[in-house]
Amino acid sequence: MSEDHASTAIAARVRRLEERLVDAGVVSDAELDTILNRFLAKASPLNGARIVARAWVDEGFRERLLDDANSAIKELGLSLGGDHAELRLRVVANTQTLHNVIVCTLCSCYPLQLLGPSPSWYKSLAYRSRVVRVPRDVLAEFGLHLPDDVEIAVWDSSAESRYMVLPMRPPGTEDKSEDELAGLVTREGLIGTAAV
């Protein structure tokens, strides 16, 4: 990680803040390390991909997922986490006539546990401001050109509610195993800025 001059000044400021909080007994260095390691190890788009693959091969699971996602993902040992109550998850399914895409216009809310750390552009002012106004144009900037007769639904996340897209199963994948299917799913597909 290279750091320019401005970044070095901020790094020093963060170190001072951390030292003061450690000295005051509010947090410990070990605790911070543990938080980071757990986050980086557990939060991954592979979790979202597993959910999608299961929904593609198991119609009953798909129905439960669309009906009550928080309960359904427990079947795969997954959870959304949260401070006190678990964050609410809603999974929205793409069809031949409807494409879904998620955003957080107010900040950066995102199902971290299922999609991993969010991409830089998800947090950018450009994405947050424009995807709700000109979603078709924004998706085209990602290389996703949807036919005019496909409606686009944009889901604006909040502090309590998170969304994930269930992409359509690609044609010609009938012979693939659940694991192989999970391997086809990308983070962008789970956000809705890619088809799968």
Q: Enumerate binding residues for another protein (CB under 8 A).
A: 1, 3, 7, 10-11, 13-15, 17-18, 20-21, 24, 26-27, 31-33, 35-36, 39-40, 82-84, 103, 105-108, 116-117, 119-121, 123-133, 138, 141-142, 156, 159, 193
78-84 own/partner pairs: CB under 8 Å, 24+ apart:
78/47, 78/50, 78/51, 78/113, 78/114, 79/113, 80/111, 80/113, 80/114, 80/162, 81/112, 81/113
Of residues 95 and 129, the one with the C-beta less far from another protein: 129
Identify whether the C-beta of residue 55 lies closer than 8 Å to the C-beta of residue 62: yes
Active-site residue 158, yes or no?
no
| Euclidean distance between CA atoms 50 and 60, whole angstroms | 15
Question: Which is catalytic among the residues 7, 28, 107, 124?
Answer: 107
- Tell me how far, at minimum, the Cβ of 117 lies from another protein, in Å: 3
E strands, 9-97, are: 88-93
- Tell me how far, at minimum, the Cβ of 125 lies from another protein, in Å: 4
Of residues 101 and 182, the one with the C-beta less far from another protein: 101
| Euclidean distance between CA atoms 21 and 11, whole angstroms | 15
Active-site residue 2, yes or no?
no
Question: Which is catalytic among the residues 7, 28, 71, 108?
Answer: 108
Identify whether the C-beta of residue 167 lies closer than 8 Å to the C-beta of residue 95: no
Of residues 100 and 193, the one with the C-beta less far from another protein: 193
Active-site residue 104, yes or no?
yes
- Tell me how far, at minimum, the Cβ of 105 lies from another protein, in Å: 3
Of residues 58 and 86, the one with the C-beta less far from another protein: 86
Task: Name residue, tokens 């170190």.
Answer: 15
Catalytic residues: 104, 107-109
